[in-house]
Chains A and B, each alone.
Chain A
Amino acid sequence: MDRFTKDETQPKIIQKLLEDSDITIDDALEHEMVLNMGPQHPATHGVLRLLLKLDGETVIGCVPEVGYLHRGYEKMAENMSYHEFIPHTDRLDYISPTANNVAWVMAVEKLAGVEVPLRAQYIRMIIAELARIASHLVAIGSFAMDVGALTVFLWTFREREKIMDIWDIVCGARFTNSYTRIGGVANDIQPEAFVLIKKFLEGIDDNLTECEKLLNTNRIFIERLDGVGAISKEEALSYGYTGPNLRATGVEFDLRKATPYLQYDKVDFNIPVFTEGDCLARYFVRTDEIRESAKIVRQCLQLMPLGEIKANLPKRVLPQKEEVYSKMEELILDFMLINFGINPPVGDVYHAIEGSKGELGFYLVSDGKGNPWKCKIRSPSFIHIQSLPHLVKGRMISDVVAIIGSIDPIMGEADK
C-alpha cells in the first residue's frame, strides 16, 4: 500500500480542504464575524437587536436595530381624545408609568391653558419621584444581574414591591396606573397610602445602603464597570444625552432645576454629578438620585396643603365619578368631554419633564378639535440607544451587556 511521504502530506491535505469548501486557511485567525444579539436576549432589556461585528472577542462595529415593539402610538394619539391617551402613556416607559402620566397631562394642560391646584401638583411630584425611585431600583438591580451579581436584583425588587403596593392603594393598579387626569389627579391620596409612603421612606436609605454594600466593595462588579463604556461631556451632549446618563459625564443638567415645573423650585434637593462618564459613574448617579428623590417626597409630604385635587374648569376637566352619578349637570359635562374631547385652542406646544431615564417630552399640535393633530413623543431611551455603537466600539463582547444595562433603555419607550 502506498503511503504519503512526510513531504507530500501537508500540501495534499490543504489541497483537499480547498476543494471541499471555501475555507481560507491563511485567514483562520483573522476572520471577522457578525454576531446577531437580540431581539430575544435577556440582557438587551426588551426587544433590542444589535448587530455586532467581532474580531475574536473584540467589538469592531455595532448597528442597533429598533422597531420590534413599534405600536404606532403617535398615529393612535392622532385618532383619540386627550383623555383617552392617558392609559397609553403607561405603556411607554412601563417601569415608571406615573411619570409618563404626569408628562402627558402637563403637556396637554400647557396646550389648553389649565391651572392645576397646589395639592394636585404636590401629589404629582410624589408619584413622579416614586416612579423615579422604582425605575432606578429596577435599573440597578437588573444592571447588577447583567454583570453577575444576582442577589442585588432580589433586594432592589423587594423595595420596588413596596412602591407597587403604594400605587395599588393610591389608584387601584400596581403597574399601569393612569392616575393623573387633565387638570389634576384621579383621586386624593388615601390616609393608608400616606402611612405606606412614610414607612417606605423610613426604610429606603438603610435598605439602599444594604444593596450598595453588596456592590460598592465587590471587586468583580467594580472591575467589570470601571472605565467601561466611557463617553466625554461633549460627545454626550452631541448625542443628546439627558438624565442620569448625562449627569454621569459631569454636566449638571436637570430639567427640575433648569426649567422648574410643578413645585420643584420649592423643595430642596441636589443634583448628583459624576465626571467619569463610564458605567460605574452611571450606577453611582442612580443610587444617589434615589436618595435625592426620597428627600423630595419627604418634603412634599411636609409642604402639601389641603384642598382641591382637580381644577374647577368644567369644559376641560372631567368631573368626579360620584358627582356624575348623582347630578345632571355633571353627567352632561362628562358626556360632552368623553365624546367630543377638551378642544384646546389652535397652536403647538412642547413640554418636557425630567423622567427617570432622561428628558421625556411631548410635542402636541392642536387644530382646535378634540383629538391632537399631531403628537410626538420625545423618548430618552431612543436617543440613548443611538449612542451604543460609540460606547461599545473596541470593547469586549461581555462589556456590551454591561453597557446596555448601564444606559438603561426601555424598549416600550424607544419604540413608541
Chain B
Amino acid sequence: MELKEIITKKLNEHFPDAGFEFSEYVGEFNIKLDKKFIHPVCKLLKEDSELEFLLCEDITAVDWAKRKNRFTVVYHLFTLKHNFRLVLKCDVDESDCNIDTVSSVWKTSNWQERECYDMYGIKFNNHPDMRRIYMPEDFEYYPLRKEFPLMGIPGSLSLPKK
C-alpha cells in the first residue's frame, strides 16, 4: 500500500470527525483539517511506527485578507523513514485567532510558533513561551498581515529616550 493511502486510512480511522480534505498539488500531499484536531493528529503522525514524521520542517501562516477564515496555518512535516513530505493546513478565523500548540510534539515548533504569532498575531494555546521573537515586546501591530503597510507605521517603534 502506498504511503499516502496508509496516512489517509490511519487518519480517517482515528479521527472520523476531523473533516479531512486530502489533495495533491505538484507532487505535494496536502491535508486540510479542523484546527481542534491539530495536536492529536501531529502526535499520531510522529509516534506511529509506520509513519514516523520525526522532523517538523516549518510552521507558518498565510493571510488571505478578506476571506471568511482569514488565516491558514501551514505545517510541513517530513518522515526520514520514507523520505516523504506532508503538508497540514488548518483554517483559523480572525475572531477566534488561536490554535493549539504542537511544541510538546516537536521542540522546534516552539520558535516557529512564536514567529508565527509575532508576524500574524495567531495565538498558540498552551505554548510555554508565547512572546514576540523579532519585533520588540511593545510593538502593537502584526507586520505580515496584509493591512500592515510595506513602509511601516511612523512612530510604531519606540525609540530610546535621550
Contact = CB atoms under 8 A, between A and B. Distances in A.
B87 interface: yes
A149 interface: no
Contacts of A113: 26
Contacts of B110: 386
B132 to A, nearest CB: 8
Contact of A378 (B57, B83, B119): B57
A76 B57 contact: no
Contact of A349 (B26, B56, B133, B134): B26
Contacts of B112: 240, 383
Contact of B55 (A76, A237, A348): A237
A213 interface: no
B62 A374 contact: yes
A256 B25 CA distance: 22
Chain A residues touching B, majority SS: mixed
Contact of B108 (A70, A365, A386): A386
A386 B150 contact: no
A363 B58 contact: yes
Interface in A61-82: 66-67, 70, 72, 74-76, 78-79
Contact of B76 (A79, A363, A415): A363
Given A70-B134, A72-B143, A258 B83 contact: yes
B106 A67 contact: no
Interface string A356-381: 00010101010000000110101000
A40 B122 CA distance: 32
A239 interface: yes
B57 A361 contact: yes
Nearest to A111: B26
A200 interface: no
B25 A376 contact: no
A155 B150 CA distance: 44
Interface in B79-104: 80, 83, 85, 87
B9 interface: no
Given A75-B150, A373-B62, A374-B63, A359 B26 contact: no
A67 B150 contact: no
Nearest to B64: A373
Contacts of A386: 107-108, 110-111
B44 to A, nearest CB: 16
A416 B134 CA distance: 10
Contacts of B58: 350, 361, 363, 376, 378
A290 interface: no
A74 B119 contact: yes
Contacts of A415: 134
Given A350-B28, A374-B63, A376-B60, A66 B134 contact: yes
A247 to B, nearest CB: 12
A67 B85 CA distance: 29
Given A76-B150, A253-B80, A350 B85 contact: yes
11 contacts: A79-B150, A110-B26, A237-B80, A240-B57, A240-B107, A253-B55, A253-B80, A347-B25, A374-B63, A378-B76, A386-B108
Question: Closest 7 A-B residue pairs measured CB to CB?
Answer: A240-B108, A67-B134, A70-B134, A376-B60, A258-B83, A378-B58, A386-B111
